[in-house]
């Protein structure tokens, strides 16, 4: 039975290439330059489907893909239903942080029990984080460029992913609190793992071996 792997282009695809290579899989095209959404590989029985990062768990949950690679941020928002998550791949690493404009006294705002307006793409993670701290928040859902929100008065703080910190610095924001360390995980459709164990297990094992070697 053929194997379908869901990947998003950009950093996930790029950092997954060495893992695919370890499993003997070489994509026949690069999704960053090709417009194709289904990409073949050197193996007739393995194909890649190119999806938006936040859609990866959905494709795997419904079995449209057997395997996928998704950030922990995306998996937390999705909830993980129907997914087996056997491996932290250690790729696409970053941190989910609370960030504020330079000069905003976050500690004082928290201490005095101020109600905070929080702009984020990560509603679930943000809601849980502030609820655990006992901070009252109004969450404002955004789909892109959270950094802009506090600069134009849309929000007091943001919850966003930070890797180098360059985007925060360029917009005079500072990270004040870590919510979670993020990296990408392998996800597997639970039913597919039972029905296609012979095809999927070697790929999972090869990924695990490659992760152990590079750790
Ligand atoms: P889209 O760009 O389609 O809105 P996205 O920003 O989630 O979605 P990517 O930019 O491809 O998609 O990021 C994919 C994954 O890479 C994220 O879900 C996250 O796990 C990880 N990642 C690592 N570093 C960063 C970063 N600095 N910013 C955003 N995502 C990052
Ligand atoms: Mg992006």
Q: Are 23 and 54 in a shared domain?
A: yes
pLDDT at 1: 87
**Cα–Cα distance measured from residue 200 to residue 188, given in angstroms and rounded to the nearest whole number:** 9
Q: Are 173 and 190 in a shared domain?
A: no
Q: Are 172 and 187 in a shared domain?
A: no
* Residue carrying the six token digits 């134009």: 152
What Rg value do the Cα atoms of the chain yield, rounded?
19
pLDDT at 143: 97
**Cα–Cα distance measured from residue 104 to residue 17, given in angstroms and rounded to the nearest whole number:** 41
Pocket test for ligand 1, best of 9, 53, 146 (most atoms within 8 A of CB): 53
Q: Are 167 and 189 in a shared domain?
A: no
Q: Are 146 and 169 in a shared domain?
A: yes
pLDDT at 214: 78
Q: Are 163 and 127 in a shared domain?
A: yes
pLDDT, tens digit only, all 215 positions of the chain: 899 999 999 999 999 999 999 999 999 999 999 999 999 999 999 999 999 999 999 999 999 999 999 999 999 999 999 999 999 999 999 999 999 999 999 999 999 999 999 999 999 999 999 999 999 999 999 999 999 999 999 999 999 999 999 999 999 999 999 999 999 999 999 999 999 999 999 999 999 999 999 77
Q: Are 136 and 155 in a shared domain?
A: yes
Q: Are 146 and 44 in a shared domain?
A: no
> Ligand 1 center to residue 50 CA distance, Å?
14
Residue numbers of the domain that contains 105: 94-180
Q: Write down the pTM of the prediction.
A: 0.95
Q: Whose CA is nearest to atom 28 of ligand 1?
A: 161
Structure tokens at 20: 């695919």
> Ligand 2 center to residue 82 CA distance, Å?
25
Residue-wise DSSP of 64-91: SSSEEEEEHHHHHHH--TTEEEEEE---
- On the CB side of 70, CA atoms within 13 Å amount to 32
Q: Are 22 and 88 in a shared domain?
A: yes
Q: Are 196 and 208 in a shared domain?
A: yes
Q: Are 84 and 190 in a shared domain?
A: yes
The total number of structural domains in the chain stands at 2
pLDDT at 67: 98
Q: Whose CA is nearest to atom 8 of ligand 1?
A: 53
Q: Are 86 and 36 in a shared domain?
A: yes
Q: Which atom of ligand 1 is nearest to the CA of 182?
A: 20
Write the CATH number for 122: 3.40.190.10
């Amino acid at each position: 039975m053929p194997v379908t792997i869901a990947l998003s282009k950009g950093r996930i695809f790029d950092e997954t290439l060495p893992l695919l290579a370890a499993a003997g899989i070489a994509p026949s095209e690069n999704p960053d330059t090709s417009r194709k959404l289904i990409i073949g590989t050197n193996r007739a029985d393995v194909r890649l489907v190119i999806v938006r990062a936040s859609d990866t768990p959905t494709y795997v949950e419904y079995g449209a893909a057997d395997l996928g690679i998704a950030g922990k941020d995306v998996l937390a928002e999705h909830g993980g239903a129907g997914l087996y998550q056997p491996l932290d791949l250690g790729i696409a690493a970053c941190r989910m942080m609370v960030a504020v404009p330079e000069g905003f006294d976050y500690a004082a705002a928290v201490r005095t029990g101020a109600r905070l307006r929080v702009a984020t793409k990560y509603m679930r993670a943000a809601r849980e984080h502030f609820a655990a701290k006992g901070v009252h928040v109004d969450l404002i859902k955004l789909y892109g460029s959270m950094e802009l929100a506090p600069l134009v008065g849309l929000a007091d703080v943001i919850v966003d992913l930070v890797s180098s910190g360059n985007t925060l610095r360029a917009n005079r924001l500072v990270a004040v609190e870590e919510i979670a360390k993020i990296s990408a995980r392998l996800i597997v459709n639970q039913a597919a793992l039972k029905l296609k164990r012979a095809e999927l297990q070697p790929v999972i094992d090869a990924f695990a071996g490659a992760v152990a070697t590079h750790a």
